[in-house]
Structure formats: C-alpha cells, structure tokens
Amino acid sequence: MKLILYNTDMNSINLAKVDLNLLKVFLALCQEHNVTRAAEKLCVTQSAVSSSLKRLRHLYQDPLFQRTQNGMVPTTRALLLRPLIQDALTKVEQSLSDTVALDVRQQARTVTIGLSDDFEVAFGRELIESIRQEAPNFRIVFKQTNSIVVEKALKEHDIDLAITGGGINDPRIKHLSLGRSGYLCIYDKRHRSDDSEILLEEFIAREHILISYTGITGSVDDCLEEIGLSRKITVASTHFSAIPFLLADTDAIATIPDFAARKIAKQGCFAVSSCPVAMQEFAINIGWHYDANRDSALMLVRDLIATLIRTKLRIT
C-alpha cells in the first residue's frame, strides 16, 4: 500500500510513494528498541527491518534511532513523529475494518508478556497451550519484569501485557483483577521428620532462602520485624525458578506465593506448609497500555490469560 503526501496548498508532493509498511517498522522499532525484536514482532527478517530503517531515514532526513548500550534510542524527531504515525495507521486500519474481515485468530503475531518467573513457573506452560488452541500462529514471548518496573515497561511498549502481583496505579495503564494469593513455605521433605505444619519456632530456627527483587529483604522480614523477630537468610536469589535447585538436599525453607509453591512441590522431593508468620494476601492483575484496547489480538490474549489464571486460583 502506498501513501501520497500533500502540502497545505494542495500541491502534490510525491515522497517516493511512501510504503505504509515502513511506518509499521517505525512503530515496531519505537516499541522494541532493537532491530531483531522488531523483526520478530513483524514476522519479517532482520535485514528487511534494516532496509526499511534506511528508507525511513532517507524519507524523514533524520537518523530516527541511535544505537546505544540500551538499544535503539529514538531521536527527538522520532519521538515527535510517533504519535502522528500511530494515529495515522490506526485510522487506516479503522477505515478497512468494515471491508476486510480478518479473523484475528489466524494472524501471525508476536505477543510479549511481562511477568515475574513465579507466574511463569506456575502458569506458563498452560498459558502457551491455551493461546495456541485459539491462535495457533501467535508466538508468545515471556519477558521478566516485576511490580517495580512494570508500569514503565508497558508505557514504553517494551511489553504488550503484564501479569503482576500488587497494584497498578498509573491511569494510562489499564488492568483487570485476576484474584488474590497468599504465601506457603516450601522445603525438601527428605530433611524433615514429618509433614506437620511448620510452627513459628521451627520457622525461626531453620535457614531460609530469600527470593526477592532486591536480594536483601522480603515481605516475610517486614512481618517478622513487626513482632521483634528475624530469620537467618543463607541464600538470596531474584529467580523463583532457582528454588528447586537451591532447596534440594538442604534443610532450608523458602516462603513464596502459594501458586508457585504448589507447582514446584509437584516436581519431586518438595512439600509445602502454611506460613506461621501472619502475611497479607496480595492482588494479582493483568495490565496493558490504554492504546492496546484497539488491538484485538492483544485483547484476545488478555482474555485467555485472565480466564486461565482466575480458574487456577480458584482451584488452588
């Protein structure tokens, strides 16, 4: 599809009969900050994106994106162009929507889901299967994030959707509540004499593995501090997926969200116990940038995620 541009006095200015696909490449680079990821998002080759970027630079007489250690950073001109191009393409898509009946489920799409790996461990495999059944040509990318950085990632379009524990406060980020979760203790059952519930005295006496974004302290420590107690943390990690390897063949305890603890406990030598420390449950949400409401593919994936996680949380 070609676009002929005109100036304000209606004299035709033919800018090489601009291919609208170039503008899609421009938006993908704005979102991904990386040529390879932009190519994956558009389901084209990396060389095709590089070629399109060269043509865009010639068209706008501006570098548009500068290579840095943080990826392809848009120039000031590109930042000004982005909302104009997004709006233009949206209007073109809307103008065609009544005449082109394309089932979103048959599209070839890459959808990037931001989440911490406790959600990935607990729900990742089933999410992939659920989405594949409805949209077999979708490619799902799980990208590590957390409640501290998730709003920024959504606003900058580094991710399309986010599964997060805790609230989302930015008004530009829409969200649905999926349910609530508490915490369980998980341990190697070969290093405990019985399967009784862990009491506070034992909890304090044993060593602990901390899973935390900071690697320094967690919610358990905050609650213990309120009652004048502390625990002995011997290992800290930012990854829930490391727990089976860090816990195995030790007498340590890890306190993690209940859905992740139950999933890991099914993998072999582990067992779970309620946590003897009074801890508040936390909300689980799925979030998306407000402009994703116009993308029916993302809304399909959002709804599939919401249905599956809500169902799983009720079961557990």
Show Cβ contacts of residue 116 under 8 Å, excluding neighbours closer than 6 positions. Answer: 144, 145, 146, 164, 165, 240
**Largest Cα–Cα distance in the chain?**
87
Closest CA to 114 of 166, 61, 151, 60: 151
What is the model's pLDDT at position 167? 66
Query: Where are the domains positioned within the chain?
Result: 2-96, 104-181+283-315, 183-279
Domains 104-181+283-315 and 183-279 in one fold: yes
Domain range 104-181+283-315, its CATH number among 3.40.190.10, 3.40.50.9100, 3.10.580.10, 3.10.20.30:
3.40.190.10
Fold of 183-279: D-Maltodextrin-Binding Protein; domain 2 (3.40.190)
Residue 2 pLDDT level (bands cut at 50, 70, 90): very low
What is the model's pLDDT at position 316? 58
Q: What's the rounded mean pLDDT across residues 76-99?
A: 78
Q: How many CB atoms lie within 10 A of CB 108?
A: 11
Backbone φ and ψ for 271, nearest 5 degrees, come out as: -140, 165
113-157 residue pLDDT tens? 999 999 999 999 999 999 999 999 999 999 999 888 888 899 888
Task: Tell me how long the chain is.
Answer: 316
pTM of the model: 0.69
Under 8 Å between Cβ of 36 and 46:
yes
Task: List the CATH code of the domain at 2-96.
Answer: 1.10.10.10
Query: In whole angstroms, what is the distance from residue 302 CA to residue 201 CA?
Result: 43
Q: In the predicted model, is pLDDT for residue 195 greater than 80?
A: yes
What is the model's pLDDT at position 187? 97
